[in-house]
């Protein structure tokens, strides 16, 4: 890290050591786990339009094409492991300075790293919900069923998006077979929020409550381009709560941040966790 970043990390470490920190994380936190983000340095431009809830539920062809892409994408998301950034966040939570974690990610890597009580704003790809009976099942079980139903499907993903949606050639998509709910025969969907859906109100209210009671809102790996995350920064500013951002590249939250560290999260966060642990004389494992 260069001198400026070292000084910024030291200042942020002092903020965090005071406690009362709420984390808002985005796709940039998971890039070191092999999951590309949308807009940062590792992101790949999405060629296909993101699936909307309306298209998924009303158009069988769109639904089949989504499941073909998502099934291949799950092979990347489902096999991803937490990186040093995730482990540093869990370590900070273990030090008692983190009051809450809000994530826009759907990969479950915060919990896999040992963090608890994570508000998953947009859900989790590891869960499948039946839109008819509400039954929740594991994604791995569905993946096994889809493999069985598509033994001749040998398409390869061109690229993977942060939401687990793979890019495929159109010629491959029509050869895919979709399966239905084992309990009722209803329509299955990943338990994530699609475009055209709203985040469940209880998640939003819980997140606003966490931010409203925070001393510091720490944004990690988010460009804050969409209002889904930026609204929490705006609320923090209105409440006089200080905002810090660690993100590679530009962010729409920069005008509101007392600190903005443009550096790799996998380097900054372990260093930060170590500084806080030293300050509090607490053991830290990353």
267 touches 88 (CB < 8 A): no
Catalytic residue among 71, 86, 122, 260: 122
Q: Is 260 a catalytic residue?
A: no
Give the whole-angstrom CA distance, residue 130 versus residue 137: 8
- Is 130 assigned a ligand-binding role in the annotation? yes
238 contacts: CB under 8 Å, gap ≥ 6: none
Give the whole-angstrom CA distance, residue 276 versus residue 281: 8
Q: Cite the beta strand spans of 91-229 per DSSP E.
A: 98-103, 118-120, 123-130, 136-138, 159-160, 166-167, 188-192, 216-220
DSSP output for 198-260: ---HHHHHHHHHHHHT-SEEEEES----SHHHHHHHHHHHHTT-EEEEE-SS--TTGGG-SEE
- Is 181 assigned a ligand-binding role in the annotation? yes
Give the whole-angstrom CA distance, residue 83 versus residue 30: 7
Read off the tokens for 18: 């005071």
Give the whole-angstrom CA distance, residue 217 versus residue 214: 7
251 touches 57 (CB < 8 A): no
- Is 95 assigned a ligand-binding role in the annotation? no
Give the whole-angstrom CA distance, residue 92 versus residue 102: 14
124 touches 203 (CB < 8 A): no
Annotated binding residues for Zn(2+), as ranges?
A: 130, 133, 181, 184
Active-site residue list: 122
Annotated binding residues, as ranges?
A: 130, 133, 181, 184
């Amino acid at each position: 890290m260069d001198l400026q970043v070292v000084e910024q990390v030291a200042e942020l470490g002092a903020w965090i050591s005071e406690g009362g920190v709420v984390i808002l994380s985005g796709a940039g936190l998971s890039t070191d786990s092999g999951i590309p983000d949308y807009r940062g340095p590792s992101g790949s431009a999405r060629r296909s339009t993101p699936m909307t809830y309306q298209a998924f539920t009303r158009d069988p062809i769109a639904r089949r094409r989504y499941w073909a892409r998502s099934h291949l994408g799950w092979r990347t998301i489902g096999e991803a492991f937490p990186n040093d950034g995730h482990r540093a966040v869990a370590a900070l939570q273990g030090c008692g300075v983190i009051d809450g974690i809000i994530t826009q990610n759907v990969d479950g890597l915060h919990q896999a790293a040992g963090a608890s009580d994570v508000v998953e704003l947009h859900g989790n790809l590891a869960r499948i919900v039946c839109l008819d009976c509400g039954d929740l099942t594991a994604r791995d079980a569905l993946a096994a069923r889809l493999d069985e139903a598509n033994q001749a499907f040998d398409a390869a993903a061109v690229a993977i998006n942060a939401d687990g949606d793979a890019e495929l050639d159109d010629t491959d998509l029509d050869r895919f077979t979709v399966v239905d709910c084992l309990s009722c025969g209803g329509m299955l969907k990943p338990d994530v929020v699609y475009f055209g859906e709203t985040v469940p109100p209880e998640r939003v209210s819980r997140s606003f409550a966490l931010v409203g009671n925070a001393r510091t809102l720490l944004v990690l790996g988010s460009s804050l381009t969409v209002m889904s995350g930026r609204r929490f920064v705006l609320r923090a500013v209105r409440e006089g709560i200080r905002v810090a951002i660690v993100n590679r590249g530009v962010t729409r939250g920069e005008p509101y941040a007392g600190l903005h560290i443009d550096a790799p999260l996998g380097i900054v966060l372990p260093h930060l966790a170590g500084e806080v642990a030293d300050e509090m004389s607490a053991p830290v494992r990353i």
